[in-house]
Amino acid sequence: MHAMTMTTQTIFLLLLALAPLRMAAAGKNCPGVPWLGAVAACRKASSTKFIYDLCIRTMREDGVDMSPSHKQEVTAYIILATEDAANSYDSTQLVASNQLDQNASLPGPVRDAYEGCLNDYPAAEDSLDRVTEAMRSGCDFVGIADQYTSGMMSLENCRDRLLSLQQYKTPVYPMVLADRDKVSLAYMLAKLLGI
């Protein structure tokens, strides 16, 4: 009797027993690294309302549990924001290369700028990948700040190429600005590590 109830209860107890394991998997228990709820992490990391809103939106879109009782090691949020920036970089590069391939009316200076950007972006993305790798593999955060800043400089090279072509209203320019915001957010979250 009550076979269903028993099964449900067993599954519930099993999930309850596994919950701490899943929590542990979400972070690495690095010494001195804070565990925070997503909203608290966004609040602590953000210096402006714009970045705070971007932070909340990024967490929500990634399906993060936003309740204050759901705390994670901040490295989890940093990885999430850094990967979100890397995905966004991919989209930007795709649009730039599609413009180069398909936009027959692309003016010469814009073409040159896009080609330059397609050199800048891999370097920028490389830095993000190194950050993610370091976050996943251990508790050694030395050099992370340098990775963010050198990656941001590569991104800014591209931004400056397009900035000098404002009269052309390129569809890529706003994407580069959005990428800049995303990497800024990731870096601000990373600063919660005390780097």
Verify binding: residue 105, ligand NAG, rule CB under 6 A: yes
Q: Which of 58, 28, 70, 93 is nearest to 189 (CA)?
A: 58
* Minimal distance, residue 109 CB to ligand NAG, in Å: 9
User: Which of 5, 102 has the CB closer to ligand NAG?
Assistant: 102
> What whole-number distance in Å separates Cα of residue 55 and Cα of residue 182?
9
Verify binding: residue 168, ligand NAG, rule CB under 6 A: yes
Paired tokens of 195: 């780097």
Verify binding: residue 169, ligand NAG, rule CB under 6 A: yes
Q: Are 26 and 76 in contact (CB under 8 A)?
A: yes
Total number of residues that touch ligand NAG (CB under 6 A) = 8
Verify binding: residue 52, ligand NAG, rule CB under 6 A: no
Verify binding: residue 35, ligand NAG, rule CB under 6 A: no
Verify binding: residue 157, ligand NAG, rule CB under 6 A: no
**Contact with ligand NAG (CB under 6 A) among 33, 59, 74, 110:** 110
Verify binding: residue 166, ligand NAG, rule CB under 6 A: no
Verify binding: residue 106, ligand NAG, rule CB under 6 A: yes
* Minimal distance, residue 171 CB to ligand NAG, in Å: 6
Q: Which stretch binds ligand NAG (CB under 6 A): 39-47, 48-56, 119-127, 168-176?
A: 168-176
* Minimal distance, residue 155 CB to ligand NAG, in Å: 19
Within 13 Å of residue 76, how many CA atoms lie on the same side as its CB?
23
- List contacts with ligand NAG (CB under 6 A): 103, 105-106, 110, 168-171
